[in-house]
Amino acid sequence: IAEALGYEATKRRWLHRAALLHDIGKLAISNTILDKPAKLTDEEFAVIKTHPVHSQNIISGVAAFADMADIAGHHHERIDGKGYPHGLKGDEINFETRIVTTADVFDALTADRPYRKAMTPVEAFAIMDKDIGTAFDPTCIAALKSALRRAELAAAA
């Protein structure tokens, strides 16, 4: 996404590191919840919703990564303010976080999970497209689609 948006290599590497670290707070969540093959209870989902705070706290405590902490802490926020953990909306969510959020959700939808099989990219975009402008930044979705088209063309060549 960052490459499709024209980010320079140094910034892309930084953003890649932030993306790799954004869910580190899941280490504070029990595997019985993370790996549950059925629907989570309200209480279990409340526990899951704490992982961005844990991620932000862990990352902010490491000087080399501290400038990535907000991405980790805000990656489940939504443009319409209906995300978590802080209910941020609109410009309160920085653009790099919007990039990571888009990539994170696409990855989650297109990967096998304990409770469902991976979706195809077409199926994932059908879901994500419904939330453009409310959950996802339209520029980030367009950049992801563009990057995937380029990758498909390169693979076919």
**Which residues belong to the active site?**
26
Q: Round to whole Å and give the CA distance between 44 and 24.
A: 18
Cβ within 8 Å of residue 123, ≥6 positions away: 109
Q: Round to whole Å and give the CA distance between 56 and 2.
A: 22
Q: Round to whole Å and give the CA distance between 17 and 2.
A: 13
Cβ within 8 Å of residue 87, ≥6 positions away: 77, 81
For residues 22 and 75, the answer to whether their CB atoms sit within 8 Å is: yes
